[in-house]
Chains A and B, each alone.
Chain A
Amino acid sequence: MAEKKVILDHINDEGEQTLEVYQGHGGYKALEKAIKQMTPAQILEEVKISNLRGRGGAGFPAGVKWGFIKREALGPKYLICNADEGEPGTFKDRRVMTVKPHIVIEGIIIAAYCMGLDAGYIYIRGEFFEPYQAMDKAIDEAYAKGYLGKNILGSGFNFDLYTYLGAGAYICGDETALMNSLEGKRGMPRLKPPFPAQFGLYGKPTTVHNVETFSAVPSIIANGGKWYSDLGTSKSGGTKLFGISGHVERPGVYELNLGTPWKEFFEDIAGGVRGGKKLKAVIPGGSSTPVLLPHELEGMLLDYESIASRGSMLGTGAVIVFDETTDMVKVAWRAMKFYAHESCGQCTPCREGCDWFYDIFNRIYKGEGREEDLDKIENLSKFIGPNTICAFGDAFVTPALAFIRKFRSDFLEYIKKGKYGLKSGETSHA
C-alpha cells in the first residue's frame, strides 16, 4: 500500500486553491451530482454506507450525526465546520484549507443540501490567518459560480457560507464551546444535553464536523459510499489524513487508507526515525492521546480500533515521533503546561486539576519532585475525567497517566536527582 490521495489529490498542483483549477480536476462534479441526480435521502444513505467517521478526534459516525437533524423542522438550521485545529501535533486542516479550500466548501454544500440547512460557518482558529483568507477567497468564487447563495444550481436550495475567525482558545475545538464563541461569548463548553442537533448555534439545530470530514464528502458522492468504505476497514471507512512530525525523516501531511499498517506508514512512507536513531515513543493522534512505546506499535494498523486496542486513540491523526534522545519528562511537562494554559476554568476538577497537574510536572522537571507525586497523579486522575463538563478532563488526564506509567523510571530519575530524592528505595531503573 502507498498513499491514497482522495482529499489530497492534486494538492501540489499550481493553482489548486482556485475554483478553476479545482474544477478542472473534477471539482464540484459531486455537488452537481448530489443536487441534480440525488435526493437528500439517497445522499444520507451513501454517507451511511461510506462508514465515514468524524475526523475531529472522537470518530462519531457521520451518517448517524446527519440523521439527527430533522429536515422538516421549522426555522433556521445551521452547519458548522470546525476549523479550530488546535490539538498539539495536528496540522492537516490548515494544509487542506490553504491549498484546496474548494473541497471543503463542496463537502459542506452537499452536507447542507442533504440535511436542509440554511447557513454555515467555518470556524477558523485565530492563528490561521492565511487559511482564513484562502477560505474567504474560495467562498467568494463559489458564490460567483452559483454554488452558494440562492437557488443553488437551479435546485431551489439556498445556502450561505461564512468564515469566522477565532481568537486563541484551544477549548473552542469543543463543539459547544465553539458555538458559544460564534455567538460572541466566552468559549466555554455547554452542559449536555441538549445536544447541538436539537439546540445548537443560536439554540437552533446544528451539525458540526471537522474540516477533514467535510472534505471526504465529495469523493463519497462522486464514487459512492461503498467505494469509500472499501478504502478502509470494515469499521473505519475511507482514508484519513495523518500529520507526522517530530523526530521523523519526512514530516508532513499524508493521506492513507484507514487500516494501513503503522510500520508501512512510518518506515516506508515517512522514512522512519530521523538520522537513523532508535525510536523511543510515539503519540499517535495528538497530544491528548496516550503515548505508545515501540513494542505497542508492533502490528498496529492505522484505524480507530487497532489503536484503541493498544490503549490510545486515532484522535486527529497527529503523529509525534520521539527518538531515543528525547527527554520524556520534558515532553510531559510541556504537554501539561499546554493544558493548564487552555482550560476554560468553568468546572472545578478541570480548572483546579490542570494547574495542579502542571505544578506537579513542573516541580519534577525542575528538580523538586517527590516520590509520592506520581501516586498523587494516579489518585487525582480518577476524579477528573468522569466529573468534568466536557472532554477536556480526559484530554489531559489520559496522556498524563500514560507518560508517568510508561516512563516511570525517567520520572524517578528526575526525582532521585532532585532536591528530595527517593525514599522508598524504589530504583529509578525499574
Chain B
Amino acid sequence: MDNMTNRTNEKTKTMNFSFNESSMNEFRRWEKKFPEDPAGRRSLVIPALWISQWQHGYISRDVINYVAEITQTEPLHVWGVATFYTLFKKEKTGKFLLQFCTNITCSLMGGDQVFVNTCKKLGVKAGETTRDGMFTAVEVECLGACGESPTLQVNEKYYTHMTDDEVEKLVADLRKMA
C-alpha cells in the first residue's frame, strides 16, 4: 500500500565527465570573478557550461550533473539554463559548426542563398551533420557583423563577405586542417 517507497527512485549519479586540467584552470580563472557566496557560485553556471562545451563538444547529461556539482546548483537548474541559450549545444554537432547568419542584412546580401547552397553541396539539411562528422550547417540570428555581410561563424571564428565560392574554399581548407 505504501507507494512512497516506489517513488523514491534513487538518483544514481554516474559521472562520466569532469574538467581536464586546462578546463579546470579556466574555471578557476572564472571563479575569481564572482562573490564567494551561493549567488556568486551560481553565476558560474554559464561559464562552466561554456568550458564544458569547449572540452566535450556539447552539453551531455553528464555535463549537466558535473556543472551542477561544481556550481553548487541543481542539475535541473543547469538544464533549464542550458536549454534557454541557443549557443549551448544539447546534441553533438560536426567538428565544424557552420553558422550562417540569415537575418535581414545577411539575407539582403545573399546569405540565405549561400546557406541553402552550402547545405546542398554538403548533402545535409539544416541542422544536420555530414556523414564524416566534419560539418554541421545551421541558420543563426544576427551575428552583429552586418557591415561585412553575409557572415558565417565557424565555431568561434567569424568569416565575412561570404559567397558560394568563398564558403567552398573555406570548407576545403577546414577539411585539410582537420
Contacts and interface: CB of A to CB of B under 8 A. Distances in A.
A308 B147 CA distance: 24
Nearest to B50: A165
A170 B141 contact: yes
B153 to A, nearest CB: 6
Nearest to B35: A202
Contacts of B102: 334
A354 interface: no
A167 B144 contact: no
Nearest to B39: A202
Contacts of A335: 104
Contacts of A87: 142
A182 B144 CA distance: 21
B156 A129 contact: yes
B155 to A, nearest CB: 9
Interface string B140-161: 1111111111000100111000
A126 to B, nearest CB: 4
Given A184-B42, A184-B45, A186-B81, A167 B87 contact: yes
B108 A247 contact: yes
A89 interface: yes
Interface in B1-59: 33, 35, 39-40, 42-47, 49-50
Interface string B49-84: 110000000000000000000010100010011001
A85 B107 CA distance: 19
Contacts of B140: 127
Interface residues of A, number: 56
Contacts of A283: 104
A168 B107 CA distance: 20
A187 B87 CA distance: 13
Nearest to A325: B108
A318 interface: yes
A137 to B, nearest CB: 13
A338 B146 CA distance: 15
Interface in A73-116: 76, 85-91, 93-95
Given A167-B87, A168-B88, A331-B104, A243 B147 contact: yes
B117 interface: no
Interface in B99-148: 102-105, 107-109, 140-148
A253 B80 CA distance: 37
A181 B50 CA distance: 14
A168 B87 contact: yes
Interface string A158-169: 000010111111
B147 A253 contact: yes
A88 B141 contact: yes
A167 B105 contact: no
B172 to A, nearest CB: 23
A164 B80 CA distance: 19
A323 B49 CA distance: 43
Contacts of B146: 88-91, 243, 245-246, 251, 318, 320
A348 interface: no
Contact of B85 (A126, A128, A202, A338): A126
8 contacts: A86-B142, A89-B146, A168-B88, A185-B45, A247-B108, A283-B104, A320-B104, A334-B104
Given A90-B144, A253-B147, 6 more contacts: A95-B147, A164-B46, A167-B50, A167-B87, A167-B88, A320-B146
